[in-house]
Structures are given as C-alpha cells and as structure tokens.
Amino acid sequence: MNRLRVALPIFRNFTNMETTKGPVETAIVHKLKECLNPQHIDVINESYMHAVPKGSETHFKVVVITSQFEGLSLIQRHRLVIDTLKTELNGVIHALSIEAKTPQQWESSNKKIHQSPPCLGGSKQ
C-alpha cells in the first residue's frame, strides 16, 4: 500500500528555512562540534534569504555556546570559529554570521537568537 508522506518543517524561530541539511551545513556542524565542544550549537542556512538558487549553501548563521569562549574577547571568539571553518569559508560560503557566547551569556540572553536583517544585495534590492 502506497502512502503519501508529508514532511513537516522544523522551525527554529525563523520562517522559510530549508529543513534538510546539505553537505556544507553538515560539515559546519561536525567541525564546530569536534573543535569547540559546544554546550549548544545552531547552524542556520540563511541562503533562502538571498538572491541565490534554491537549495544553495552560501549564507549561514552559527550560534555557538561553549565554555572555551570564557576569557576571550568577541573578536577572539569569532577568529576561533573562522579558523575552524577555514576550508568552507575559502570555498562555497559567501557570508557567515556568528553568535559566540559563553554558557552564562547564553542563559542571560534567555537563549535568544537574533534574527538576521533582510538581504539588500543582488536582485533583492
């Protein structure tokens, strides 16, 4: 008996998001987990918000919560994330937004992820 399968989207407080992880997103998650041992990680493919073909993996937001950020400035935290994703950033990733917090900062923020502004570049103007 054939049954119609309906895929329900997974919402992370954003709309119109891709619900399946592509190879770039999967690599980002793997590398950040392996190198930073985060207590929380969220990798959001924001490519759908930009003038790129559907299914692209070019624009990402990463939210990384780890005790490894204790005592580091924001720029040092960002450099740590960027160094971890060097291969991807030299390849297909066009833009990367980073929220890098300690566990205490994450709790103080009520675990809120800031929504990215709409794209104003390319054909989206």
The pTM for the full model equals 0.78
Structure-token pair, residue 51: 């003038």
**Tens-place pLDDT, residues 65-105:** 999 999 999 999 999 999 999 999 999 898 999 999 999 99
Question: What pLDDT does 5 receive?
Answer: 39
| DSSP letter (8 states) at residue 53 | -
Q: Which residue has the tokens 């119109």?
A: 16
Structure-token pair, residue 21: 């992880």
**Tens-place pLDDT, residues 11-37:** 344 444 445 789 999 999 999 999 999
Contact predicate 51/124, CB 8 Å: yes
Beta 95-101 vs 59-65: how paired, if at all? parallel
- Choice between 41 and 53, residue whose per-residue pLDDT is larger: 41
